[in-house]
Protein backbone atom coordinates (compact mmCIF):
# COMPACT_ATOMS: atom_id res chain seq x y z
CA UNK A 1 0.00 0.00 0.00
CA UNK A 2 1.03 3.59 -0.48
CA UNK A 3 2.41 5.31 2.63
CA UNK A 4 0.04 8.21 3.29
CA UNK A 5 0.88 10.73 5.99
CA UNK A 6 -2.50 12.48 6.03
CA UNK A 7 -5.25 10.16 4.73
CA UNK A 8 -8.01 12.59 5.75
CA UNK A 9 -6.65 15.32 3.45
CA UNK A 10 -6.24 12.77 0.64
CA UNK A 11 -9.84 11.62 1.10
CA UNK A 12 -11.14 15.19 1.15
CA UNK A 13 -9.25 16.23 -1.98
CA UNK A 14 -10.31 13.15 -3.93
CA UNK A 15 -13.93 13.77 -2.91
CA UNK A 16 -13.73 17.36 -4.19
CA UNK A 17 -12.33 16.13 -7.49
CA UNK A 18 -15.08 13.53 -7.89
CA UNK A 19 -17.88 15.92 -6.97
CA UNK A 20 -16.57 18.45 -9.50
CA UNK A 21 -16.39 15.80 -12.23
CA UNK A 22 -19.90 14.54 -11.48
CA UNK A 23 -21.28 18.09 -11.49
CA UNK A 24 -19.80 18.85 -14.90
CA UNK A 25 -20.97 15.48 -16.22
CA UNK A 26 -24.52 16.14 -15.00
CA UNK A 27 -24.58 19.62 -16.55
CA UNK A 28 -23.41 18.23 -19.88
CA UNK A 29 -26.13 15.60 -19.65
CA UNK A 30 -28.76 18.32 -19.22
CA UNK A 31 -27.40 20.61 -21.93
CA UNK A 32 -26.96 17.96 -24.62
CA UNK A 33 -30.44 16.50 -24.49
CA UNK A 34 -32.04 16.34 -27.95
CA UNK A 35 -33.94 13.94 -30.17
CA UNK A 36 -30.78 13.09 -32.11
CA UNK A 37 -28.83 12.22 -28.97
CA UNK A 38 -28.98 8.56 -27.97
CA UNK A 39 -28.50 9.34 -24.27
CA UNK A 40 -31.77 11.31 -24.34
CA UNK A 41 -33.84 8.15 -24.78
CA UNK A 42 -35.75 6.96 -21.68
CA UNK A 43 -33.63 3.89 -20.83
CA UNK A 44 -30.24 5.62 -21.32
CA UNK A 45 -31.56 8.56 -19.30
CA UNK A 46 -32.53 6.36 -16.36
CA UNK A 47 -29.26 4.45 -16.59
CA UNK A 48 -27.22 7.66 -16.53
CA UNK A 49 -29.16 9.09 -13.59
CA UNK A 50 -28.69 5.82 -11.69
CA UNK A 51 -24.98 5.97 -12.50
CA UNK A 52 -24.67 9.53 -11.21
CA UNK A 53 -26.50 8.70 -7.98
CA UNK A 54 -24.37 5.59 -7.42
CA UNK A 55 -21.08 7.37 -8.02
CA UNK A 56 -22.14 10.31 -5.83
CA UNK A 57 -23.03 7.91 -2.99
CA UNK A 58 -19.73 6.04 -3.33
CA UNK A 59 -17.79 9.32 -3.22
CA UNK A 60 -18.80 9.69 0.44
CA UNK A 61 -17.45 6.22 1.32
CA UNK A 62 -13.80 6.44 0.24
CA UNK A 63 -12.41 3.64 2.49
CA UNK A 64 -8.77 4.64 2.67
CA UNK A 65 -8.37 3.36 6.26
CA UNK A 66 -10.57 0.27 5.91
CA UNK A 67 -9.49 -3.40 5.61
CA UNK A 68 -8.18 -4.49 2.24
CA UNK A 69 -11.29 -6.54 1.35
CA UNK A 70 -13.49 -3.47 1.80
CA UNK A 71 -11.20 -1.42 -0.43
CA UNK A 72 -11.32 -4.11 -3.11
CA UNK A 73 -15.11 -4.25 -2.90
CA UNK A 74 -15.26 -0.46 -3.21
CA UNK A 75 -13.17 -0.45 -6.39
CA UNK A 76 -15.31 -3.27 -7.80
CA UNK A 77 -18.50 -1.28 -7.18
CA UNK A 78 -16.96 1.75 -8.88
CA UNK A 79 -16.03 -0.38 -11.89
CA UNK A 80 -19.53 -1.82 -12.15
CA UNK A 81 -21.00 1.70 -11.95
CA UNK A 82 -19.01 2.57 -15.07
CA UNK A 83 -19.16 -0.70 -17.00
CA UNK A 84 -22.90 -1.44 -16.71
CA UNK A 85 -23.99 1.94 -18.19
CA UNK A 86 -21.31 1.55 -20.88
CA UNK A 87 -23.04 -1.63 -22.04
CA UNK A 88 -26.09 0.58 -22.72
CA UNK A 89 -23.99 3.06 -24.72
CA UNK A 90 -23.45 5.49 -21.81
CA UNK A 91 -19.72 6.23 -21.69
CA UNK A 92 -17.99 8.06 -18.85
CA UNK A 93 -14.32 7.96 -19.81
CA UNK A 94 -12.91 10.41 -17.25
CA UNK A 95 -14.48 8.49 -14.37
CA UNK A 96 -12.82 5.34 -15.67
CA UNK A 97 -9.42 6.96 -15.25
CA UNK A 98 -10.43 8.34 -11.88
CA UNK A 99 -11.10 4.79 -10.68
CA UNK A 100 -7.48 3.97 -11.50
CA UNK A 101 -6.39 6.96 -9.42
CA UNK A 102 -8.46 5.74 -6.49
CA UNK A 103 -7.05 2.23 -6.82
CA UNK A 104 -3.54 3.67 -6.38
CA UNK A 105 -4.56 4.83 -2.89
CA UNK A 106 -6.64 1.79 -1.96
CA UNK A 107 -4.98 -1.28 -3.49
CA UNK A 108 -1.53 -2.81 -3.56
CA UNK A 109 0.69 -1.98 -6.50
CA UNK A 110 0.36 -5.37 -8.16
CA UNK A 111 -3.42 -5.13 -7.82
CA UNK A 112 -3.37 -1.65 -9.38
CA UNK A 113 -1.44 -2.94 -12.41
CA UNK A 114 -3.78 -5.93 -12.72
CA UNK A 115 -6.86 -3.70 -12.43
CA UNK A 116 -5.52 -1.35 -15.11
CA UNK A 117 -4.93 -4.17 -17.60
CA UNK A 118 -8.24 -5.94 -16.98
CA UNK A 119 -10.19 -2.67 -16.98
CA UNK A 120 -8.78 -1.69 -20.38
CA UNK A 121 -9.61 -5.06 -21.92
CA UNK A 122 -13.15 -5.19 -20.52
CA UNK A 123 -13.80 -1.56 -21.48
CA UNK A 124 -12.93 -2.20 -25.12
CA UNK A 125 -15.10 -5.30 -25.25
CA UNK A 126 -18.06 -3.41 -23.78
CA UNK A 127 -17.65 -0.58 -26.28
CA UNK A 128 -17.55 -3.09 -29.14
CA UNK A 129 -20.70 -4.70 -27.72
CA UNK A 130 -22.62 -1.42 -27.38
CA UNK A 131 -21.59 0.25 -30.66
CA UNK A 132 -24.14 -1.61 -32.85
CA UNK A 133 -26.95 -0.16 -30.72
CA UNK A 134 -25.63 3.38 -31.24
CA UNK A 135 -25.11 2.81 -34.96
CA UNK A 136 -28.68 1.53 -35.31
CA UNK A 137 -30.03 4.58 -33.49
CA UNK A 138 -28.07 6.94 -35.75
CA UNK A 139 -29.35 5.13 -38.83
CA UNK A 140 -32.93 5.42 -37.65
CA UNK A 141 -32.50 9.14 -37.00
CA UNK A 142 -30.24 9.89 -39.96
CA UNK A 143 -32.66 12.39 -41.47
CA UNK A 144 -32.86 14.44 -38.27
CA UNK A 145 -29.10 14.25 -37.75
CA UNK A 146 -28.48 15.56 -41.29
CA UNK A 147 -31.01 18.33 -40.66
CA UNK A 148 -29.10 19.49 -37.61
CA UNK A 149 -25.94 19.80 -39.71
CA UNK A 150 -27.58 22.69 -41.57
CA UNK A 151 -27.87 24.60 -38.30
CA UNK A 152 -24.35 26.01 -37.92
CA UNK A 153 -25.11 27.89 -34.70
CA UNK A 154 -26.46 24.74 -33.07
CA UNK A 155 -23.37 22.75 -34.02
CA UNK A 156 -21.04 25.48 -32.77
CA UNK A 157 -22.88 25.83 -29.46
CA UNK A 158 -22.92 22.07 -28.85
CA UNK A 159 -19.25 21.77 -29.74
CA UNK A 160 -18.34 24.62 -27.40
CA UNK A 161 -20.39 23.11 -24.58
CA UNK A 162 -18.80 19.69 -25.03
CA UNK A 163 -15.27 21.08 -25.30
CA UNK A 164 -15.78 23.35 -22.30
CA UNK A 165 -17.14 20.46 -20.27
CA UNK A 166 -14.26 18.20 -21.27
CA UNK A 167 -11.73 20.91 -20.47
CA UNK A 168 -13.25 21.66 -17.07
CA UNK A 169 -13.44 17.99 -16.16
CA UNK A 170 -9.89 17.16 -17.17
CA UNK A 171 -8.39 20.37 -15.76
CA UNK A 172 -10.12 19.91 -12.39
CA UNK A 173 -8.93 16.32 -12.30
CA UNK A 174 -5.32 17.23 -13.17
CA UNK A 175 -5.08 20.27 -10.88
CA UNK A 176 -6.56 18.71 -7.77
CA UNK A 177 -4.64 15.49 -8.25
CA UNK A 178 -1.42 17.52 -8.55
CA UNK A 179 -2.41 19.33 -5.36
CA UNK A 180 -2.63 15.94 -3.64
CA UNK A 181 0.86 15.03 -4.79
CA UNK A 182 2.31 18.41 -3.74
CA UNK A 183 0.60 18.22 -0.33
CA UNK A 184 1.93 14.71 0.18
CA UNK A 185 5.43 15.83 -0.76
CA UNK A 186 5.29 18.76 1.68
CA UNK A 187 4.01 16.48 4.43
CA UNK A 188 6.87 14.07 3.75
CA UNK A 189 9.42 16.89 3.93
CA UNK A 190 7.95 18.10 7.24
CA UNK A 191 8.03 14.55 8.58
CA UNK A 192 11.68 14.16 7.57
CA UNK A 193 12.57 17.48 9.25
CA UNK A 194 10.71 16.42 12.39
CA UNK A 195 12.54 13.08 12.37
CA UNK A 196 15.86 14.91 12.15
CA UNK A 197 14.90 17.10 15.11
CA UNK A 198 13.89 14.04 17.13
CA UNK A 199 17.21 12.34 16.35
CA UNK A 200 19.13 15.47 17.42
CA UNK A 201 17.11 15.70 20.63
CA UNK A 202 17.65 12.00 21.34
CA UNK A 203 21.42 12.41 20.91
CA UNK A 204 21.38 15.41 23.25
CA UNK A 205 19.42 13.46 25.86
CA UNK A 206 21.85 10.55 25.59
CA UNK A 207 24.81 12.87 26.15
CA UNK A 208 23.07 14.35 29.17
CA UNK A 209 22.41 10.85 30.56
CA UNK A 210 26.06 9.85 30.11
CA UNK A 211 27.16 13.09 31.79
CA UNK A 212 24.90 12.39 34.77
CA UNK A 213 26.24 8.85 35.09
CA UNK A 214 29.82 10.15 34.99
CA UNK A 215 29.01 12.77 37.60
CA UNK A 216 27.16 10.32 39.87
CA UNK A 217 29.41 7.24 39.63
CA UNK A 218 32.82 8.09 38.20
CA UNK A 219 32.90 11.47 39.90
CA UNK A 220 32.14 9.89 43.27
CA UNK A 221 34.85 7.27 42.72
CA UNK A 222 37.43 9.89 41.78
CA UNK A 223 36.56 11.94 44.87
CA UNK A 224 37.01 8.85 47.08
CA UNK A 225 40.37 8.08 45.49
CA UNK A 226 41.49 11.66 45.98
CA UNK A 227 40.68 11.49 49.71
CA UNK A 228 42.52 8.18 50.08
CA UNK A 229 45.59 9.56 48.27
CA UNK A 230 45.58 12.61 50.53
CA UNK A 231 45.37 10.32 53.57
CA UNK A 232 48.25 8.21 52.27
CA UNK A 233 50.36 11.31 51.78
CA UNK A 234 49.77 12.40 55.38
CA UNK A 235 50.51 8.94 56.77
CA UNK A 236 53.70 8.53 54.76
CA UNK A 237 55.88 10.47 57.22
CA UNK A 238 54.29 9.03 60.41
CA UNK A 239 53.42 5.43 59.51
CA UNK A 240 54.67 4.20 56.10
CA UNK A 241 52.93 0.82 56.51
CA UNK A 242 49.50 2.38 56.88
CA UNK A 243 50.33 4.68 53.93
CA UNK A 244 50.98 1.60 51.79
CA UNK A 245 47.62 0.14 52.87
CA UNK A 246 45.89 3.39 51.88
CA UNK A 247 47.59 3.27 48.49
Instruction: Confirm whether pTM is higher than 0.75.
Output: no
Segments of the chain scoring below 50 in pLDDT: 1-5
Torsion of CA 80, 83, 86, 90, to 10 degrees: 40
**Residue 1, pLDDT score:** 44
Residue 207: per-residue pLDDT: 87
For residue range 112-165, list pLDDT tens digits in order.
999 999 988 999 999 888 888 888 887 887 776 666 666 666 666 666 766 776
pLDDT value, residue 7:
59
Using H for helix, E for strand and C for coil, what is the string for 121-175? HHHHHHHHHHHHHHHHHHHHCHHHHHHHHCCHHHHHHHHHHHHHHHHHHHHHHHH
Interatomic CA distance for residues 136 and 117, integer angstroms: 30
Q: Measured between alpha carbons, how far is 135 from 55 in angstroms, rounded to an integer?
A: 28
Amino acid sequence: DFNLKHPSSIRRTISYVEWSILTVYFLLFLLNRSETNYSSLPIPTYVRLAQLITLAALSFLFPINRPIWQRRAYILLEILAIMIPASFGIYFHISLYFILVKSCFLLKRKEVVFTTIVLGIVWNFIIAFSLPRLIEFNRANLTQIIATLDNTNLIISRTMIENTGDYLTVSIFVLLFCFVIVAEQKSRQKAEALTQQIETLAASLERSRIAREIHDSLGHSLTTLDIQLELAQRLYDKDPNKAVDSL
